[in-house]
A = this chain, B = another copy of it.
Amino acid sequence: MTRRYAFLGPAGSFSEEALLTLGLPDLEPVPCLSIDEVFVAVANGWADSGIVPIENSVEGSVNATLDALAFDEADLMIRGETVLDVRQALIAAPGVAMKDITAVTSHPQAVAQCRGWLTEHLPGRPVIAANSTSEAVQRAVAEPGIAAVGTLLAADLYGGHVLRKSIQDYAGNQTRFVVIGRGVSAHTGHDKTTLALFIHHDQPGALLMILSEFAYGGINLTKIQSRPTKRQLGQYMFFVDLEGHLEDPAVDLALKCLRLKLRQVKVLGSYRKA
């Protein structure tokens, strides 16, 4: 049966690259214009699942994703995760060599990630802004002489010739993507649980108590981040990733204790670790 996966588009984006790493058979990718739109598509049943970025090693957490998980009323959950090496490629029309390049085009953020390389290898070439790396690759294929910064997937989709596979300045750039859908994934023994913890207003020592509960259960936290709730200035909440599944007795006990003391404990997913 074909499964429709909503992703942050357009076609050829890093989100689509991440989707393809999942190796799913009979996949129908559904491109969306924003992270919120991916959540809407899954919540309304236009797609069976979705895939969105949640954390980048250089840029940090993707708050649009964290907030959609924490505040949306559809209560979609993280069902799985995958980590992608972010590689910006230099792409041109077939037959075009480095020496023929007269201008560079891409999304300004992608250009910024490769600025050092471009200054060294293509000095003085004007930079033409594009609305997305995919749009840039399409333009490069149509106009020989213009090179695009974009994904290998986009080069493949639009018939571009890859001049260099990896030109981003920052080595080790990785993005973690999460698959969103309904319900908690099955226990595998190598799981991770993501929580949004809302504390009562003016509750000093809340984080200390939270950490003590997890320490008592021997539960390892892999990420913790405080964040304003945006409902009221100065009101904070915490996003926590921990090792273990909701069905593990220690995790279950810690959550029972936290539910007695906090304003809200929202499970954002329990899923197999990447």
Contact = CB atoms under 8 A, between A and B. Distances in A.
B228 A226 contact: no
Contacts of A111: 131
A74 interface: no
Q: Is the interface of A mostly helix, strand, loop or mixed?
A: mixed
Contact of A107 (B58, B108, B208): B108
A112 interface: yes
Contacts of A107: 108, 129
B34 A228 contact: no
A211 B224 CA distance: 13
A225 interface: yes
Interface string A224-243: 11111010000000000000
Contact of A132 (B108, B115, B135, B212): B108
11 contacts: A34-B115, A57-B228, A59-B64, A60-B62, A60-B227, A108-B132, A127-B131, A129-B130, A207-B211, A224-B224, A224-B226
